[in-house]
């Protein structure tokens, strides 16, 4: 079993707790005006008419990944990807209060396809991209934090898992790129406890200039 310091374990727990709390705090303001006094309130509402303290589809889907990762499964293996896909579909079947348009289209189409769960989702993701010409929304990015925690000491596998899980619903390689960069940033922040810069070497060479521009704008 890999050994991590108490500080690293605390930061790892903070990734999930921070996401859930921040998500619940932000839902009332999604696509709306920020609080006039600059003090957000965890009051619920938002696009899904959430209860106060209830997190959105972003954290709901992240928990699907976290539950599979918590079993110790290798998220790059087909069996684990199938388990994640099944959890996504089970979540979708509950009629979530809010769901991204891209994700909804993919899960709806996948239910009508044949084959193993992860194969159906990946194929549906490709088909939706082919139909619309765009699938680089942020839905995959919002749920990727558990991938970083699953591979804190295995950067190569973290990259592979982030991109493969993203492709379950978002076929555009830019969506995968964003998940790769964010997963790596979270992983290194948990290990080192410092703000770090995005490692553009993780992105295929032909898209690095594009991402360099976005990172520069963000900074």
Please state the rounded mean pLDDT for residues 85-104. Answer: 97
Give the confidence band of 1 by pLDDT, cuts at 50, 70, 90: very low
Which H/E stretch holds residue 191?
helix 173-192
Sign of the alpha-carbon dihedral angle for 171, 172, 177, 179: negative
Per-residue pLDDT of 75-89, as tens digits, reads 999 999 999 999 999
Please state the rounded mean pLDDT for residues 150-157. Answer: 97
Could you say which DSSP state residue 97 is in? S
C-beta of residue 47 within 8 angstroms of C-beta of residue 31:
yes
Distance in angstroms (rounded) separating the CA atoms of residues 86 and 147: 17
The pLDDT of residue 93: 97
Distance in angstroms (rounded) separating the CA atoms of residues 72 and 45: 35
Please state the rounded mean pLDDT for residues 44-69. Answer: 97
Query: Which CATH superfamily includes the segment(s) 57-218?
Result: ADP-ribosylation/Crystallin J1 (1.10.4080.10)
Give the confidence band of 25 by pLDDT, cuts at 50, 70, 90: very high
**Model confidence at 129: pLDDT above 70:** yes
The pLDDT of residue 7: 97
Percent of the chain with pLDDT over 90: 93
The pLDDT of residue 195: 86
Give the confidence band of 171 by pLDDT, cuts at 50, 70, 90: very high
The pLDDT of residue 206: 97
Encoding tokens for residue 75?
A: 């998220």
**Model confidence at 2: pLDDT above 80:** no
Encoding tokens for residue 41?
A: 């309130």
Q: What is the dihedral of CA 209, 213, 216, 218, to 10 degrees?
A: -130
Distance in angstroms (rounded) separating the CA atoms of residues 60 and 88: 9
The pLDDT of residue 219: 86
CA distances from 138 to 45, 89, 174, 176 (A): 21, 19, 10, 10
Distance in angstroms (rounded) separating the CA atoms of residues 48 and 131: 27
Give the confidence band of 154 by pLDDT, cuts at 50, 70, 90: very high
Give the confidence band of 134 by pLDDT, cuts at 50, 70, 90: confident
Percent of the chain with pLDDT over 70: 99
Domain boundaries, the chain: 57-218
């Amino acid at each position: 079993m890999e050994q991590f310091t108490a500080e690293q374990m605390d930061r790892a727990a903070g990734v999930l707790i921070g996401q859930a709390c921040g998500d619940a705090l932000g839902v009332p303001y999604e696509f709306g005006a920020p609080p006039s006094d600059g003090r957000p309130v965890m009051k619920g509402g938002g696009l899904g008419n959430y209860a106060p303290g209830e997190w959105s589809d972003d954290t709901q889907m992240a928990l699907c990944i976290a539950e599979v990762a918590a079993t110790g499964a290798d998220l790059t293996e087909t069996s684990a990807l199938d388990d994640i896909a099944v959890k996504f579909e089970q979540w979708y079947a509950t009629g979530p209060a809010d769901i991204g348009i891209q994700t909804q289209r993919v899960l709806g189409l996948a239910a009508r396809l044949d084959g193993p769960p992860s194969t159906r989702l990946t194929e549906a993701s490709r088909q939706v991209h082919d139909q619309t010409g765009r699938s680089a929304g942020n839905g995959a990015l919002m749920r990727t934090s558990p991938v970083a925690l699953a591979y804190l000491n295995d950067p190569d596998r973290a990259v592979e898992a982030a991109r493969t899980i993203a492709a379950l619903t978002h076929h555009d390689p830019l969506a995968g790129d964003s998940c790769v960069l964010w997963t790596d940033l979270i992983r290194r922040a948990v290990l080192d406890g410092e703000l770090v810069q995005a490692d553009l070497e993780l992105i295929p060479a032909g898209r690095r200039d594009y991402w360099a521009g976005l990172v520069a704008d963000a900074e």
